[in-house]
Chain A
Amino acid sequence: MTIKPLTADQKDALQEVLNIAMGQAGDSLARILDAFVALSVPRIRIVEVANLGKTVVEMVGENIDVSAVRQAFYDDLRGEAIVIFGQAGCRDLADLMGYDTDIDADAEHELLLDVTNVLVGAILNGITETLGTELSFTAPSIMAERRPIDTIITPENLPWTHALLLEVNYSLENRAFKSHLLLLMAEDAIESLRKAVNDFMESI
């Protein structure tokens, strides 16, 4: 299946929608961590699912251990949200949230699930508010724990050939914490999103 690329206008509009949503999610994160969160410019691209693992390594960096949490969303737009946390950042998170920095695996799970829920919830709500779409999402679950970055994505488990990849990054000043939030949407969801973006552009 071939995917019609997003037009420059669609990409620009989507980028701005994502920017607003990212700001809201960043503010939520800043509030729970009581820290200043640095935001990146969101990136949007269509990738071949077979190359997704490689793309993720390029985004996050080679040879690092990460934990990752996934959360699925459905209804008007369907896809997967994945938040990737570098291992050093997990210790920062624990510290900022007032845990002992040598937290055990269970406590770390809980922390990553909580933070993911806040980030993904805020970003999806931001998108739906701006685009006027409806979305539901599942509870977050751990998809990788302290594993090398190049092993976390297994494209053979995804029934898609192409995916729209939306990427936003959050980091903290003077801290190692860095998280990458990815939204992945399959072929049919790209068309739904394209329609929602077109409607939005017409409305302004």
Chain B
Amino acid sequence: MFWTIARFEWRYWFKNPAFYIYAGAVFLLAMGSMSGSAGALGAGSANLETIANSPWNIFSFSRFFNKILFFLVPAVVGASIFREFSSKVNAILFTYAFTKSDYLCAKFFSSFTIIALIALMVELGLVAGTLLPFVNPSQVLNFEFRSYLHTYFLYLLPNLFLCSCLVFASVSLTRNVYSGFVAIILTWLFREIWFRWTGNTYSQNFIGLTDPFGETFIDSFVRYWTVSERNLLALPLPLDFLLNRLIWLGIGVIILFLVYRCFSFGEPVVWFNRTSKNAGRLIRNNFGSITRVRIFNPMPGFGFEYRILTIWRRARIELSYIVSSGGFLLLFLGGGFFLVVLLQQVNPQTDTRLLPVTWSVLGLPVFFFTLLIQALTFFYAGVILNRPKLAGIADLIHVTPVSNFISYISALLTLVLLQLILSGLIMGVGIGIQLYHNFYPIEPGHYFFNLICLHLPGLMIWAILALFIQTLFHHTYFGFFVLVMIWLAIPNLDSLGMAALVFKFNQDPYPDFFLKYSDLSHFGNTLRSFYFFKSYWFLFGILLGCLTLIWWQRAHLNSYMERIKTGVHRFRGVLLWVFCLSGLAFLATGYTLFNLEKHPDNIIGPVDSERELMIRFEENYGHLKLIKQPRIRSVFIQLDLFPETRQFTARGTYRLVNHHTSAIDTLLIKTGFDEITVLAAGSPWTALIVDSFFKFSIYKLESKLEPGDSISLKFELKNKPNALLVQQSNVLENGTYLKSDMLPRIGYFATGPIMLNDSSKIYNHYQSYDEDLVDFEIIMSTSRDQTAIAPGKLIKVWEDRGRQYFHYKMNKKIKLVLGFNSGRYSVYSDQHRGVDLKIFHHPTHTYCLSSMINGLKSSLDYNTSYFGSYPHQDIKIIEFSRAEGSYATTAGNVMPISEIRFIQDIKKTGIGQIDLAFYVAAHELTHQWWGNQVIPADAPGAPLLTESITEYITAKIYEKTYGKKNALKFIDIQLKRYLNGRGQAPSEEFPLIFVSPEQSYISYGKGAVVFYTLSEYLGEEKLNLILQSFFNQLKNQPPPYPTSLDLINHLKQNTPDSLGYLIKDMFETVDPAISLRPYYHLFPDQ
């Protein structure tokens, strides 16, 4: 009997087009992903460093497809068991002579084999992807059967088995086909919740075993693999992983067994929908007789009121059906719990947490949660469209005078109300968390704007699409699958040559703009283009709406031909007009946007890759590389900021000095991407080349600049006009932070890749090629309610024609690395060791001020005691908008710090979490000695003298305040940063001594660990004295600048011979097994 039932089931699936569509789509998608990753779409389309079919990559792809396959499980396994109930065959079938076990086993086995077959298409697709003719052969290894085999049998199949068991159980016990979908979503949700919840509390091993999908073990194994290891090594199969697979297979079997025990051929075991209170004993009374029928006969009306009432009533009925079902209740609770966990989560990279400011609540958690809302929209669109038919009430409703339009609008309204309810959950949980943390003020307006005005429009457009697709197919799971495919396809339109935004359905011009909200500058200029594009897609939504109405299933239509005939018949009158008009509007808007996007005003900088640009530049101008150029000695700037219109203008004068021994007759000038309106030297010159593409020009001086002589260079510039899609200036409405990259610079700027043997570089310091140190003076203006801040001592403040002016002047030479800030600030002041400490901060961002001040004070104490006094009279910390970034830096006496560091949750500092506000202030201040007094040459290893030492000193400062345990925690985080960084780094790893500026995972991460280890071996005092003597030797040294070699030599000279190996191992060796051995030796449990 088993085989009879199974064969029947297989025959059903093999005759069902859905099976071939599922399998085909999965196959094509897998093939496309693999060949895309192997460079089939042309040069530059794939990361050349990675091998496309490496065992790790095959696993990663399968992991992605695993998620898609999960949603096919309810469509196949769930539908398979449900079919008996839906077709009402069950009443007959279940009386036949087969046993429960025959029936259940056969049903499960046959439908699971179908899923397994579809899953096999993933692996086949991946194999096929490597065989396509256009792939880059250097990115494809020989076919290795084992990799696919392992992934399929140890990963995909066990996971699908578990999911099939869950779906099988929920559908057969509730007899509701949709409960399978709910079971999948809940499994996924609770897995996420579980991992986030247990993140740091349980042992890795325990968490790994509890992962139903077995990914954790593999992840923890592969985490610190480098790119080449990921390319070549076979997938690790630790014993624990196999144990995990066995455990979860066992759990699946237990679930099946429980189904077997509970299942009955008669009544459902669990009611998916709550049983109504209305049920009760029915008394039969049907013996009366009728003689006359006289009915009250009110006048029906079909006007506006009718439409509103029917739309509302139908939406209410559908919505209450959805929200009162047990499945939705579970989803709702699970989703709420998921949000709580997301909001409480600690950033694993830095082991810190942000305060629950409203935008952080509305950031990533909402991003994840809206994906859930979107998935539920796709799903419930199908549920509500198919419900009348499934309930059998369709004919009764369809013969009433309700127009299709009303039915459509009420379905749309249902979905939107559902989205609103789920958005309300976000708001409720968010405010709850804020109250729980005693965090005020609560900003309901902000929630409202974010959820209703930013997220809802996009979700509504998805709802429109979902209704269209579900109307087209009238099959909830199939429609869902198609919708997910569409959603996945949108980001990949690029590779089909449809990279323009107008092709990307419902996407935003800045996809993650709502994650970049700033309390200072809010959403910046992104909203205008956001609404422009949303309106564009709403127009498309109207088109989709018309098409949905054309396809709307009301009558019994038997074939697609008949549906088309009916559709053509309906396509007239108002519908036709609306379709044509909105179609025209859509095309016109699309055309406008398409051209707008290509317009130079809407492009920032060149679109080619930086690397390509450098190569082209060297081809054109390489011969100028060695031309001697004067140096900038003084800088005077007048900068006018217009925060309201987000524009600026600047005028400036440089004094250039010929510090060479021969005369100079040519000036090379590189300008920024803003518009240069005036550029003039102090003596006559003629332009030889003005290259507007590279912003590079060559001038011939009419009279040569003799050695020791100087010449002035005047310039005026303003930002390119801000456009719809792009704001060309970096001026913000509040919290502006402009940098010196807008200023013109002198000389051949393309330095190319670092060459270890380029000795000329020691004459340039690592942050510029055209200056040593400069005198600096600035007059800055901004709107009246803002404060403008730049490096220097404030000389004068005045108001003129409603604008505020500030005059700053440095009384010491500084590097030409500048910051220009403006914002509406409150000021927090303190003083320490005769230095004025000021923090210019957003009025509500007061949470971390004392931490920052403490950081400054501790840093002043520590650094002064070893490396001499602080070079300026004051320190100004300035908060800038996170729209500019989340970093911190130092320039002269100012220290611009991103707002993100002002909202750190520092309550748990000292009991496990790092006080980032303290840390950042201490770190940046240390740069006043290491980086601004000792200035390394522009040579490999420069960051060793700045970041590595600074990070080490910061750890020590941290230790002084928070104790050794917390300092070690800090070092441990740096270690992880290094190990993680290696795994993701695209380029070759250098030893510390030759670390390059972009390898911050080495200079910060490894550097801190190594120096800290050295201090443990030598003693803190001893190491600091060695650094002190190095510092005193080289501070404020004119060119040639010191290099990392100088430091290493100095360290070697001052380290006892018995420990000399430390320097070699830790600073000069790449392999962490050697370079970190001393660290692991000291702290074996890390």
Instruction: State yes or no: do A and B come from one complex.
Output: no
Interface residues of B (CB under 8 A from A): none
Interface residues of A (CB under 8 A from B): none
